[in-house]
């Protein structure tokens, strides 16, 4: 069976991330990926969750508290500023990051991710990823501004050195209404 987009994004993270790793949820949203990552890295690992919307941070905090997960730090800031919030010792165990690009479901659809900050975040994260670490981007592009972000991201990932990174595209091409797709970047060396 082919895996759906979210299931496949989680599968990729499970394959690359180990217990005890540090990981980044670059777009907390409603907290579902943060919970997944928290469980994945275990009590010895740590999740840094970012979102520019206070509502997303509050939603995520509420979900984590309800479930009882404590190995997370939530930051109300852009993912492009991740280095300002992460201690150096956590960066040495950076196993991966996940992004859900677009807008916060059930919220203001004019507040969207932008390729400029997303690419800045990717550039910083890939430079700190451990060998075989991964960045998974779930690209929702069926909204105003989504086409621009999709095109600029595709241009950026195509230019990544194939000797240093594997770049995967995964998506369903026969679905209507601009279905989301995955871009995954795995560090080789």
pLDDT in tens, 143-157: 888 899 999 999 999
> What's the CA gap between 156 and 166, in Å, rounded?
13
Q: Which CATH superfamily is domain 5-187 in?
A: Vaccinia Virus protein VP39 (3.40.50.150)
- The reply to whether the predicted model has a pTM over 0.85 is yes
Q: Are 6 and 138 in contact (CB under 8 A)?
A: yes
111 or 171, which is more confident: 171
Q: Is the pLDDT of residue 78 over 90?
A: yes
Q: Are 173 and 52 in contact (CB under 8 A)?
A: no
In this prediction, residue 173 has a pLDDT band, given cuts at 50, 70 and 90, of very high
Residue listed under structure tokens 């026969």: 174
166 or 106, which is more confident: 166
Q: What is the pLDDT of residue 25?
A: 98
Instruction: Give how far Cα 113 sits from Cα of 1, 83, 154, Å.
Output: 31, 18, 15
Q: What is the pLDDT of residue 106?
A: 81
Identify any residues that bridge with 170 across adjacent strands, giving them in sequence order. Answer: 182
Domain range annotation of the chain: 5-187
61 or 110, which is more confident: 61
Q: What is the pLDDT of residue 142?
A: 83
Identify any residues that bridge with 22 across adjacent strands, giving them in sequence order. Answer: 46, 94
> What's the CA gap between 135 and 76, in Å, rounded?
20
146 or 182, which is more confident: 182
Q: What is the mean pLDDT of residues 9-17?
A: 98
Q: Are 102 and 67 in contact (CB under 8 A)?
A: no
Each residue's pLDDT tens digit, 81-140: 999 999 999 998 999 999 999 988 888 888 889 999 999 999 999 999 999 999 999 999
Identify any residues that bridge with 187 across adjacent strands, giving them in sequence order. Answer: 165
Q: How many CB atoms lie within 10 A of CB 159?
A: 8
In the chain, the largest separation of any two C-alpha atoms, in whole Å, equals 45
Each residue's pLDDT tens digit, 21-57: 999 999 999 999 999 999 999 999 999 999 999 999 9
13 or 144, which is more confident: 13
Q: What is the pLDDT of residue 75?
A: 98
């Amino acid at each position: 069976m082919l895996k759906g987009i979210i299931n496949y994004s989680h599968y990729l993270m499970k394959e690359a991330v180990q217990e005890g790793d540090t990981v980044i949820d670059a777009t907390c949203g409603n907290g579902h990926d943060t919970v997944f990552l928290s469980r994945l890295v275990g009590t010895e690992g740590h999740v840094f969750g970012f979102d520019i919307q206070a509502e997303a941070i509050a939603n995520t905090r509420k979900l984590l508290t309800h479930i009882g997960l404590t190995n997370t730090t939530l930051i109300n800031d852009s993912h492009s500023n991740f280095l300002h919030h992460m201690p150096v010792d956590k960066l040495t165990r950076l196993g991966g990051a996940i992004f859900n690009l677009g807008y916060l479901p059930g919220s203001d659809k004019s507040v969207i991710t932008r390729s400029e900050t997303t690419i800045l975040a990717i550039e910083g994260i890939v430079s700190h990823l451990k060998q075989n670490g991964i960045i998974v981007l779930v690209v929702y592009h069926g909204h105003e501004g989504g086409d621009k972000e999709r095109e600029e991201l595709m241009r950026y990932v195509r230019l990544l050195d194939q000797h240093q990174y594997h770049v995967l595209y995964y998506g369903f091409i026969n679905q209507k209404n601009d279905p989301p797709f995955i871009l995954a970047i795995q560090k080789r060396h």
